[in-house]
Chain A
Amino acid sequence: MGLKQRKTLKEAIEAIKDGDAIVLGGWTIFRTPMAAAYEIIRQGKKDLYLSASATGTISDMLIGAGCVKICEAAWHGHEAYGFSYNVKRVIEEGKTNFRHLEETTTSVFMRAYAAAMGLPFIPTLALKGSDMLNPEYDTLKDLRGKDPKIAKKRYLEIDDPFWEGNKVILIPAARPDVAIIHVQEVGEEGTIRINGPQFGDIWYAAAAKYTIVTTEKIVSEEFLKENTNLNSIPGEFVDAIVEVPFGSHPGGCYGYHDTDPWFYKDYVEASKKEQTFRQWLDKWVFDLPDHAAYLNKIGKEQIKAITADPAYGYNPNLKRSI
């Protein structure tokens, strides 16, 4: 296995090319690789092909900043903090070349799972009866068979040939170039320990050609090896390790910190209009050189207010409706 490349966030994100197919770990407002997203925007990445299931702040920000050309996703929103206004506006105004493809939780993760297992496609009983199977609504139709990153068909329906002949939907594997996940602990050989819910991170890490892991803390492999069962992802799937405390802020990170209601209030309001969002991006992304400066700007008091109680893994006293 050997030691994994320990990089700065800037170095890790430089490996991403315009037009790359990217999968992002976490879930809406928990443990998504936000620091990586800020750096993607800062470096001006374009035409990204994003695949995400239930996605919130991270997609809204990347799409709002104009970094994304295609997004395949099941759900957009910051949960009770508000709706993904950037996504809403970009789609409703239809002024850019952005395309959205409807997925469901099952279809996104099964496509990543297939990719992780080296399969070209995978069967599911989901999607039946819905407009997800409507050929008129296949927004990538004209790219199929032309763009090598996109499957030749959105799906195929067959009758099960082995048993009772029920209708089964075959969906193509995803083909991510890059996976980015944010986790609690990583050893110097890339062994990953995720605390709390894992979501689909292991499949994303395994599916992609290049996997970037941002972590709250780089710890010793010896320590991780004392409790093998607690380890989530082997170093085999990891290409770059970056230590980024609060790397999923303003989302929460189980065991470390909760979501940031003050930041969300401000963000959601700013995201309602293009002009105010541009100003927000200047203030929180372009005018700041790195994530450390971002945390400095948020300030010790706010960071302290969202820090988790170790007995719970979140802050039980946090007032989230403000």
Chain B
Amino acid sequence: MSSPNENNCGYNLMEMLAVSAARVIRDGEVVFVGTGLPMLAALLAKAAHAPNISMVTEAGIYHPKPMHMPMSVSDSRWFYKSPWVAGPVEIMNVFLQKRRIDVGFLGGAQIDIYGNLNSTVIGDYLKPTHRLPGSGGASDIGTLANRTIITMVHEKRRFVKRVDFLTTPGWKCYKFPGRLLVPRDELGMWGGPAVVISDMGVMRFDETTKEMYVDQYFADTGITLEQIKANTAFDINVSRAKPALPPTDKELTVLREKIDPERIFLGRKRKE
């Protein structure tokens, strides 16, 4: 089912996701970014309301101010006029594991009610229907960041009861042996997913049950709560949902003219 907002509202899916994600970043934070949407969101946040954020990428980039849109965490464009560069050994340990990362970005092909993510395979791991890129640094970010922002396309085949492979841990994840679902703090983990942003709305996790619920929905584009429920395979609570604010002209202008004028990511029809 295609989103109605892709054509009617003067902005497309990727733009809305980037704007919503940017708004959740607070000024002064150290933000762990990846390719595509996270980069867009962080760069937009920096240009809009959070000028003092620092970004890192797992390839070793620190506090970049790229002039042109990078297309990889390792792109030469990140290196331009950055104050210091390291490698993955420093970033994943001294930054991430040492709890210096305030917010990390995550995504995936599947997500469940506790915010566990799958970016590894669809189907049985040992004989998959679809092989996906894999974790990269996602699992590490999900385990070690102080909080995470997840971006997803809202479809029933993505918002699943149980992920086919648990790549990135959410609030209740696996303990072995037995593959038991346990609260993440039982495994000694801090952090956890704070928010899920989809093309239909913004979801958060209940303080007590740790289950995903709808916090805001993109009513401006015609999205309804019934649609959100119909596109979620698990029972999702919508009783706390409020209409979300649409992207402002300023946010869209910055995105389109300053951040991704080549439309390398903004031009995509769907988020992968």
How many Å from the CB of A72 to the closest CB on chain B? Answer: 11
How many Å from the CB of A221 to the closest CB on chain B? Answer: 24
- B50 on the A face (CB < 8 A): no
- A92 on the B face (CB < 8 A): yes
Q: Identify the stretch in B19-27, B124-132, B193-201, B212-220 within 8 Å (CB) of chain A at 4 or more residues.
A: B124-132
CA distance A87 to B121 in the complex (A): 12
Interface size on A, as a range, is 35 or more
Q: Which one of A77, A88, A126, A199 contacts B97 once the chains associate, using CB atoms below 8 Å? A: A126
Pairwise interchain contact A167-B187, C-beta atoms closer than 8 A: yes
Residues in B neighbouring A103, C-beta threshold 8 A: 135
Q: Identify the stretch in A129-137, A208-216, A271-279 within 8 Å (CB) of chain B at 4 or more residues.
A: A129-137
Residues in B neighbouring A27, C-beta threshold 8 A: 59, 72-74
**Number of B residues with CB within 8 Å of any CB on chain A:** 66
Pairwise interchain contact A321-B176, C-beta atoms closer than 8 A: no
CA distance A28 to B137 in the complex (A): 13
How many Å from the CB of A194 to the closest CB on chain B? Answer: 10
- A54 on the B face (CB < 8 A): yes
Q: Is the interface of B mostly helix, strand, loop or mixed?
A: loop
- Given contacts A133-B176, A199-B60, whether A92 and B128 have CB atoms under 8 Å apart is yes
How many Å from the CB of B141 to the closest CB on chain A? Answer: 9
- B169 on the A face (CB < 8 A): yes
Q: Identify the stretch in B9-17, B75-83, B235-243, B248-256 within 8 Å (CB) of chain A at 4 or more residues.
A: B75-83
Q: Mark A57-93, 1 if CB is under 8 A from B, else 0.
A: 0000000000000000111110111011001100110
Q: Mark A36-66, 1 if CB is under 8 A from B, else 0.
A: 0000000000000000011000000000000
Q: Please report which residues of chain B, range 142-191, place their CB below 8 angstroms from some CB of chain A when the two chains form the complex.
A: 142-144, 165-169, 173-177, 179, 184, 187-189
Pairwise interchain contact B125-A75, C-beta atoms closer than 8 A: no
Q: Which one of B61, B87, B168 contacts A130 once the chains associate, using CB atoms below 8 Å? A: B168
26 A/B residue pairs, CB under 8 Å, sorted by A: A26-B74, A54-B58, A54-B74, A74-B137, A88-B131, A102-B135, A103-B135, A104-B135, A126-B143, A128-B188, A129-B169, A130-B139, A132-B139, A134-B179, A139-B126, A166-B188, A198-B60, A198-B87, A201-B87, A254-B79, A259-B71, A312-B77, A313-B79, A319-B262, A320-B262, A321-B262
Pairwise interchain contact A126-B139, C-beta atoms closer than 8 A: yes
How many Å from the CB of B111 to the closest CB on chain A? Answer: 14
Residues in B neighbouring A316, C-beta threshold 8 A: 67-68
Q: Which one of B87, B139, B167, B189 contacts A197 once the chains associate, using CB atoms below 8 Å? A: B87
Residues in B neighbouring A234, C-beta threshold 8 A: none
CA distance A50 to B105 in the complex (A): 28
Residues in B neighbouring A254, C-beta threshold 8 A: 76, 79
Q: Which one of A92, A105, A199 contacts B137 once the chains associate, using CB atoms below 8 Å? A: A105
How many Å from the CB of A249 to the closest CB on chain B? Answer: 14
- B232 on the A face (CB < 8 A): no
Pairwise interchain contact B188-A130, C-beta atoms closer than 8 A: no
Pairwise interchain contact B120-A102, C-beta atoms closer than 8 A: yes
Pairwise interchain contact A130-B77, C-beta atoms closer than 8 A: no
Pairwise interchain contact B143-A128, C-beta atoms closer than 8 A: yes
Pairwise interchain contact A125-B72, C-beta atoms closer than 8 A: no
CA distance A96 to B88 in the complex (A): 32
How many Å from the CB of A267 to the closest CB on chain B? Answer: 16
- A94 on the B face (CB < 8 A): yes
Across the two chains, which residue of chain B brings its CB closest to A124? B97
Residues in B neighbouring A88, C-beta threshold 8 A: 130-131
- B246 on the A face (CB < 8 A): no
Pairwise interchain contact A126-B68, C-beta atoms closer than 8 A: no
- B4 on the A face (CB < 8 A): no
Pairwise interchain contact A167-B188, C-beta atoms closer than 8 A: yes
A-B pairs with the 4 shortest C-beta distances? A129-B173, A129-B169, A75-B136, A27-B74
Pairwise interchain contact B67-A198, C-beta atoms closer than 8 A: no
CA distance A91 to B72 in the complex (A): 24
Residues in A neighbouring B73, C-beta threshold 8 A: 27, 54
Pairwise interchain contact B135-A132, C-beta atoms closer than 8 A: yes
- A121 on the B face (CB < 8 A): no
Pairwise interchain contact A28-B74, C-beta atoms closer than 8 A: yes
- A127 on the B face (CB < 8 A): yes
- A30 on the B face (CB < 8 A): yes
- B267 on the A face (CB < 8 A): yes
Residues in A neighbouring B144, C-beta threshold 8 A: 125-126
Residues in B neighbouring A237, C-beta threshold 8 A: none
CA distance A92 to B127 in the complex (A): 6
